[in-house]
A and B are shown apart, each in its own frame.
Chain A
Amino acid sequence: MKAAILLFPGINRERDMVLAVRQSFGQEPAVIWHKETELPAGTDLVILPGGFSFGDYLRCGAMAAQSPIMRAVKAHAARGGYVLGVCNGFQILTEAGILPGALLRNASLRFLSMDTMLRVARADTVFTSHWQKGAEFRAPMAHGDGNYTADEETLNRLEGENLVAFRYADFNRNGSARAIAGIFSPNLRVLGLMPHPENLVDPLMGGTDGKPLFDALAAA
């Protein structure tokens, strides 16, 4: 699995993502500046890491969604390539229309910087195959706008087509609709989620709860 990590100005989690990918994949991911217009040849997986792209101006992810590289990401997704968006990366994917819905300000209005528990909704995907269905794992959160929302029809479709990837298992702190923490595209090849699995991939980080995501991708 050849990975490319996108770097937009204001992104600050790309090195965490490089570390997680390097450790599980056994190879170095490419880091691609947002002004590039093409992904490296042979890219299997595009990763949009967390941070505050373009200072969250206008709306979180709105500016990054218009960056030159996003045209290539859309084409990659359209031909069935894998895409992972975490935190700001998830916001960028919704702003770009690659995933449905939007991330609103946390219901509490507070920036949430703490661990949460996530429940795996399905284990038969390339992203989640190293977990059991229903498994719960710890994941750090660090966001001000993680309150997932979509219209009722979209929410019903996501649930009906089994496209919810993760739900908040302990406490839905940001107020997300139906406690949704992450969703898949209909072909199960695009995953967006708010919490940060890449920040728990080594005992030195305090745990390896997030490592199954990267191990699963490495094995795909």
Chain B
Amino acid sequence: MKAVVTVMLKNGVLDPQGKAIGQALHGLGFGQVGEVRAGKVIELELAETDPAAAKTAAEDMARKLLANTVIESFKVEIAA
């Protein structure tokens, strides 16, 4: 079973990478681009068959290591 953990900087936390990407996109002529936020996607192969258990385990991993909850929020999705 695969868990996909998406880690993003919390709202209100300055994201200079997102800002730089936004400026570069404007430079390429994509004038419609507003705010850009950059984050991370971490895929985990889990030896689990129960989606609920897999999600609980992945959330525990996110809290303990994958995300720094002082500055980041995370979302876990289970892909069969």
Interface of A with B (CB < 8 Å)? Answer: 58-59, 62, 66, 94-95, 100-102, 104-109, 147, 149-151, 175
The 8 Å CB contact of B16, one of A59, A62, A102, A109, is A109
Assess whether B71 is in contact with A149, with CB atoms less than 8 Å apart. yes
Number of residues from B at the complex interface, CB < 8 A: 10
For window 58-72 of chain B, which residues contact chain A by CB distance below 8 Å? 65-66, 68, 70-71
Return B33 CB to nearest CB of chain A, in Å.
18
Q: Could you list 24 examples of A-B contacts with CB < 8 Å?
A: A58-B65, A58-B66, A59-B68, A66-B65, A95-B68, A100-B70, A101-B70, A102-B70, A102-B71, A104-B13, A104-B14, A104-B71, A105-B16, A106-B16, A107-B16, A109-B16, A109-B20, A149-B13, A149-B14, A149-B70, A149-B71, A150-B70, A151-B70, A175-B14
Return A154 CB to nearest CB of chain B, in Å.
8
Number of A-B contacts (CB under 8 A): 33
**Which A residues are in CB contact (< 8 Å) with B16?**
105-109
Distance between Cα atoms of A113 and B7 in the complex (Å): 29
**Which B residues are in CB contact (< 8 Å) with A101?**
70
Interface of B with A (CB < 8 Å)? Answer: 13-14, 16-17, 20, 65-66, 68, 70-71
Distance between Cα atoms of A102 and B20 in the complex (Å): 21
**Which B residues are in CB contact (< 8 Å) with A62?**
65, 68
Distance between Cα atoms of A109 and B68 in the complex (Å): 20
Q: Which residue of A lies closest to B19 (CB)?
A: A109
**Which B residues are in CB contact (< 8 Å) with A58?**
65-66
Q: Which residue of B lies closest to A95 (CB)?
A: B68
Q: Which residue of B lies closest to A100 (CB)?
A: B70
**Which B residues are in CB contact (< 8 Å) with A105?**
16-17
Distance between Cα atoms of A59 and B70 in the complex (Å): 12
**Which A residues are in CB contact (< 8 Å) with B17?**
105, 109
Assess whether B68 is in contact with A102, with CB atoms less than 8 Å apart. yes
**Which A residues are in CB contact (< 8 Å) with B71?**
102, 104, 149
Distance between Cα atoms of A104 and B17 in the complex (Å): 11
**Which A residues are in CB contact (< 8 Å) with B70?**
94, 100-102, 149-151
**Which A residues are in CB contact (< 8 Å) with B20?**
109
Distance between Cα atoms of A101 and B69 in the complex (Å): 10
Q: Which residue of A lies closest to B40 (CB)?
A: A58
Return A220 CB to nearest CB of chain B, in Å.
30
Return A158 CB to nearest CB of chain B, in Å.
13
**Which B residues are in CB contact (< 8 Å) with A66?**
65
Interface centre among A101, A109, A149 (most CB of B within 10 A): A149
